[in-house]
Structure formats: C-alpha cells, structure tokens
C-alpha cells in the first residue's frame, strides 16, 4: 500500500507544471490489503493519472459543484 501512495505522490510532483487539486481516499480491507482507491478531481487529470498508474476503473460518479453566494 505504501508503494501505491508513493507512486501517486511521485506522479503529481513530476507533473507539477500547474496547480491542480485531487483528493485520494484509499480503502483497506481488514487483512491490510488495498481494496479500493477513490479519486476526486478534474476529469482529465483523474483519467491521466489512471492511465499513468495503470489503474482499472471500477465506476464513475459525476457531480457538479455549486457555490454559495
């Protein structure tokens, strides 16, 4: 699991030509194995990260953000 975290961090540090924000949540099974990674961010950046790290897509949920005025 630590290797995946380090790989995700290294990917974003190497791609740091512009400022992006992506949230990553890692779900671990009771036996300590990584069972799921939930990524939230810009569609293009998430897709690029998925391809670079060779991750399989389980499902996508699209949400729109509304600002309060």
- Whether residue 16 lies inside any domain: the answer is yes
- Whether residue 10 lies inside any domain: the answer is yes
Q: Fill in the DSSP letter of residue 31.
A: T
- Whether residue 63 lies inside any domain: the answer is no
Q: What are phi and psi of 63, to 5 degrees?
A: -135, 145
Q: What does the alpha-carbon distance between residue 67 and residue 39 come to, in Å, rounded to a whole number?
A: 21
- Whether residue 67 lies inside any domain: the answer is no
Closest to 22 in 3D by CA, of 47, 2, 4, 59: 47
Domain count along the chain? 1
pLDDT of residue 31: 93
Q: Write out the residue range of the structural domain in which residue 23 sits.
A: 2-52
pTM above 0.75, yes or no: no
- Whether residue 64 lies inside any domain: the answer is no
- Whether residue 46 lies inside any domain: the answer is yes
Query: Which residues make Cβ contacts (< 8 Å) with residue 53, sequence separation at least 6?
Result: 4, 7, 8, 11
- Whether residue 65 lies inside any domain: the answer is no
How does pLDDT run across 7-61, given as a tens digit for each residue?
A: 877 777 776 666 677 888 888 889 988 888 888 888 888 888 888 888 777 777 6
């Amino acid at each position: 699991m630590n290797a995946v975290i380090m790989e995700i961090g290294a990917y974003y540090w190497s791609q740091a030509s512009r400022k992006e924000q992506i949230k990553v949540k890692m779900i671990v099974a009771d036996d300590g194995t990584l069972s799921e990674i939930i990524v939230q961010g810009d569609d293009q950046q998430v897709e690029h990260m998925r391809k670079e790290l060779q991750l399989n897509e389980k499902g996508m949920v699209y949400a729109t953000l509304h600002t309060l005025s």
